Amino acid sequence: MHYLDANASEPLRPEAKAAMMAAFEVTGNPSSVHAAGRAARQLLEDARERIATRFGARDQDVVITSGGTEADALAVHALGFERRIIVCATEHDAVRAAAPDAALLPVDRRGIADLDRLRALLASGPPALVCLMLANNETGTIQPVAEAAKLCHAHGAFLHVDAVQAAGRIPVDLTALDCDSLALSAHKMGGPTGVGALLLSRGSPEIAPLIAGGGQERGRRGGTPAVAAIAGFAAVCGLEADQIRLAVLRDRLEATAAHHGAMVCGGGVPRLANTTSLALPGVRADAQVIALDLDGIAVSAGAACTSGKVQTSHVLTAMGLGVLAGQAIRVSLPWTVSGAAIETFEAAYARMAARLRAALVAPPLVRTAA
Ligand code: PLP
């Protein structure tokens, strides 16, 4: 099988595996005062320091979570307290579900947030929390986050940035982006699943926990930390796949898909080198995913979905793509991708497009009366 679904989860990097194997040798709870506890705490704090340094935060401003979903939910819960919430229309469900009543910030046909509309929304009411992701999980579109931060701060608003797909692919720095909080997830960077972080800026207020428990993470997130997973997370911070190589492979497969009738959704703007969203007019996304899977290629229809059901993409719908929003697959290249995988994809895509598009024009079966 060729795995081209990195935005769902990147393959584990050897650095993460080695760090986790070493950390598994340490027995102890970082909250215990004895030597074993202190050894576990040392691992935890070393990891925290590395995460902080790589992403432009202070150690004390890194809140370890169970992943990107929890980091987003914590940001909305804590920074959105008694504030209006404005959410970009193409945000991940982790943010949308945490703020179901939020005002929506529209995007243009390329997926870029409308900053004039943001200015108007900010000016029209009390202080807000704005959620704007750095890179979109379906199209790879990179948002003008630093500009949005200026607007937000001019209007007394907080800005939360979901950098889950951006980290490890483009530079991500809390201080340079000038946002108030930033969400990370280890498994999108080649680390283990089940761990991530919310990074807070220097000026952000004291935050109330979603999970209080034993007061860990400076009272901002209770629960015994998963030390080995956190060590694996820290080990991949600062590692980046060769973006130029990925862009060359991505452009090549896009050209082949276009030759077979596909349309690239959200092209022509800054975007992640590893990601493309390919719509095949008239052909349902789930049929494409299944056909490619049977041919040994793993891709997804829009975002990976926990229920296993494929839904029409809210991202592509927000971009005004209409019915094409249910006819697009996401191809996301992992750091391990080979040229051979792209060749196999191209051949499989050509077969899939020919077969499924032929089925569209096939004459209907004529039933004869029994
Ligand atoms: N934010 C974005 C943009 C994502 O793509 C994802 C996962 O797909 C998440 C948040 C959730 O991260 P996690 O899987 O670590 O909960």
Q: 172 with 183: CB under 8 angstroms?
A: no
The tokens describing 236, both together, are 């991949």
Kindly tell me if the per-residue pLDDT of 356 is higher than 80.
yes
Q: Cα–Cα–Cα angle for 125, 128, 133, nearest 5°?
A: 130
Kindly tell me if the per-residue pLDDT of 357 is higher than 90.
no
Pocket probe for ligand 1: among 185, 236, 271, the residue whose CB has the most ligand atoms within 8 Å is: 185
pLDDT tens digits, one per residue of 80-138: 999 999 999 999 999 999 999 999 999 999 999 999 999 999 999 999 999 999 999 99
Q: How far is the CA of 347 from the centre of ligand 1 (A)?
A: 30
pLDDT tens digits, one per residue of 49-67: 999 999 999 999 999 999 9
Kindly tell me if the per-residue pLDDT of 369 is higher than 50.
no
Closest C-alpha among 234, 241, 240, 266 to residue 331? 266
Check if 68 has its Cβ closer than 6 Å to any atom of ligand 1: yes
Closest approach atom of ligand 1 to CA 67? 15
Does the domain at residues 14-236 carry the CATH identifier 3.40.640.10?
yes
Pocket probe for ligand 1: among 10, 65, 66, 69, the residue whose CB has the most ligand atoms within 8 Å is: 69
Task: List where CATH 3.90.1150.10 sits in the chain.
Answer: 2-8+241-361
Contacts 24+ apart (CB under 8 A), 180-186: 180/79, 180/204, 181/75, 181/79, 182/55, 182/57, 183/68, 183/71, 183/72, 183/75, 183/94, 184/51, 184/55, 184/68, 184/71, 185/67, 185/68, 185/71, 186/16, 186/67, 186/229, 186/232, 186/233, 186/236
**45 — pLDDT class (breaks 50, 70, 90):** very high
Q: How far is the CA of 163 from the centre of ligand 1 (A)?
A: 9
The tokens describing 7, both together, are 């935005």
Closest C-alpha among 243, 308, 235, 248 to residue 272? 243
The neighbouring-strand residues paired with 330 are 277, 300
Kindly tell me if the per-residue pLDDT of 325 is higher than 90.
yes
What confidence score (pLDDT) does residue 366 get? 55
Instruction: In whole angstroms, give the CA distance from residue 115 to residue 368.
Output: 60
Check if 133 has its Cβ closer than 6 Å to any atom of ligand 1: yes
Kindly tell me if the per-residue pLDDT of 337 is higher than 50.
yes
Check if 149 has its Cβ closer than 6 Å to any atom of ligand 1: no
What confidence score (pLDDT) does residue 359 get? 85
What confidence score (pLDDT) does residue 306 get? 45
Check if 137 has its Cβ closer than 6 Å to any atom of ligand 1: yes
The tokens describing 198, both together, are 């919310």
Q: How far is the CA of 150 from the centre of ligand 1 (A)?
A: 25
Residue 37's contacts (CB-CB under 8 Å, 6 or more residues apart) are 28, 29, 30, 31
Kindly tell me if the per-residue pLDDT of 253 is higher than 90.
yes
Task: List where CATH 3.40.640.10 sits in the chain.
Answer: 14-236
Closest C-alpha among 262, 267, 248 to residue 139? 267
Check if 67 has its Cβ closer than 6 Å to any atom of ligand 1: yes
Q: Tell me the mean pLDDT in the region 238-249.
A: 96
Distances (CA, A) of 44 to 146, 194, 327: 31, 16, 44
Q: Tell me the mean pLDDT in the region 227-256.
A: 97
Ligand 1: which residue has its CA nearest to atom 8? 8
Q: How far is the CA of 92 from the centre of ligand 1 (A)?
A: 7
pTM, two decimal places? 0.95
Q: 201 with 238: CB under 8 angstroms?
A: no
Kindly tell me if the per-residue pLDDT of 362 is higher than 70.
no
The percentage of the chain sitting over the pLDDT mark of 90, rounded to a whole number, equals 91
SS (H, E, C) 151-192: HHHHCCCEEEEECCCCCCCCCCCHHHHCCCEEEEEHHHCCCC
Closest approach atom of ligand 1 to CA 303? 8
Closest approach atom of ligand 1 to CA 186? 15
The tokens describing 194, both together, are 């089940």
Question: Which CATH class for the 2-8+241-361 domain?
Answer: alpha beta
What confidence score (pLDDT) does residue 215 get? 93
Kindly tell me if the per-residue pLDDT of 236 is higher than 50.
yes
Active site residue 152: no
